[in-house]
Amino acid sequence: MPLLDEIDGPAKMIGALNTVVPFERPDGKTVLRGYNTDWQGMVLALRNAGAHGSTSKQEAGMVVGGGGTARAALYALKEMGYSPIYLVGRNKQKLAALTSAFSEDYNIHLLSTEEEASAIPADKQPVVAIGTIPGDSPIDPGMREILISIFSVGTTSTANVAGIAATNSNKVLLEMAYKPAVTSLMQLAQNSGWRTVPGLEALVGQGIHQFRLWTDIVPLYEVSRDAVMGKEREA
C-alpha cells in the first residue's frame, strides 16, 4: 500500500487492497490508485441470498474469525446497516486489537466464550454471518460452542420479538473459504436451518467490481458467475 499514490476510503479502513488502477491526472502524470473490492463481493453475495440489511430494523450481524478478511467483513456488514456486529474468536485481546481501528458506530461486540454468546438478547441475535476462518481445518472447540449457541437459537420455535418475526430459514451465512464445498462452519449453520452461501459467490461479486474499475464496463452477473463456477453457456 505505501507504494501507491492514492488509496480509496474503504481500502484504508480495511487495511488491505486487491485492485490497482492507473489514472492519468490533468497534468498528464499517471498515478496508481488502490481499491478493496472484497467487501463489495461480500455485500453482493449476501444480497443475492436475500440478506439486504436495514438501518431501520437494526438487525444484528456476525463475523467469525479475527484475521485480515474479518476486517473486510466488518466493513461490509456495517455498510449494509447491520448493528450490532458480533466478532467471534478465541482470543479477545487479538479481536480487540483487530477492531481498534474501527469507530464506535460500528457497534462491534466481541464474543470469545459460550457464556457471552448465551447472554445475547433474543432481539439482538444475528441474522447474517460471514465466516473468515480456514475451511480445511477443524473449528476450535471453544469457538464451536459459541457458534452452536448462536446458530441454534430459533430451532425449536419461531421468534417474534418487537414485532419482527425471524426464523432460521431467513438467516444467512456467507462462508469466505472456497474449499471444501461444505466447510465445518457451513455444516454447523445448516444443522440449525441457516442458509449458507459458498465463498465463490463473493469471488464473483468482487471480480465484477474489479472489472468495472479496470474497464469502466459492468459485466453481466450471470456470465461472470458462470466463468467463476466453471459453467459453459450455450451460444
Are the beta carbons of 228 and 199 closer than 8 angstroms?
Answer: no
Q: Tell me the average pLDDT across 116-123.
A: 93
Mean pLDDT of 60-87: 96
| Cell matching residue 14 | 480495511
Q: In terms of Cα–Cα distance, which of 14, 49, 19 is closest to 208?
A: 19
Q: Are 110 and 95 in contact (CB under 8 A)?
A: yes
The predicted structure's pLDDT at residue 165: 39
pLDDT category, 22, cuts 50, 70, 90?
A: very high
Section 62-72 average pLDDT: 95
How far does Cα 129 stand from its chain's mean position? 7
How many C-alpha atoms does 6 have within 13 Å on its Cβ side? 11
Distance between first and last Cα of the chain: 42
The whole-number pLDDT of residue 42 equals 97
Cα dihedral 110, 116, 118, 120 in deg (nearest 10): -50
pTM for the complete prediction? 0.89
- Tell me the backbone φ, ψ of residue 25, rounded to 5 degrees: -80, 165
Task: Give the pLDDT confidence of 46-60 residue by residue, as tens digits.
Answer: 999 999 887 677 899
CATH 3.40.50.720-classified regions of the chain: 39-153+167-198
Backbone dihedral angles phi then psi of residue 137, each to the nearest 5 degrees = -125, 150
Q: Are 218 and 209 in contact (CB under 8 A)?
A: no
- For residue 81, is pLDDT > 80? yes
pLDDT digits (tens, 9 = 90+) for 121-175: 988 999 999 999 999 999 999 999 999 999 998 765 444 444 333 567 899 999 9
* Residue in the block written with cell 487479538: 94
Q: What is the pLDDT of residues 171-220, one digit of tens each?
A: 999 999 999 999 999 999 999 999 999 999 999 999 999 999 999 998 88
Distance CA(57)–CA(175), nearest Å, equals 24
Q: Where in the chain is the domain with CATH 3.40.50.10860?
A: 6-37+201-229
Taking all residues of the chain, what is their mean pLDDT, rounded to a whole number? Answer: 89
Q: Which CATH number fits domain 6-37+201-229: 3.90.25.10, 3.40.50.300, 2.40.50.140, 3.40.50.10860?
A: 3.40.50.10860
Those residues with Cβ within 8 angstroms of residue 1's Cβ, 6 or more apart along the chain or in another chain: 7, 11, 16, 17, 34
Q: How far is CA 28 from CA 8, 21, 52, 53, in A?
A: 21, 16, 42, 42
Residue 23, pLDDT above cutoff 50: yes
CATH number belonging to domain 39-153+167-198: 3.40.50.720
Measure the CA–CA gap between 136 and 204, rounded to whole angstroms: 21
Q: All 3 cell numbers of residue 110?
A: 466481541
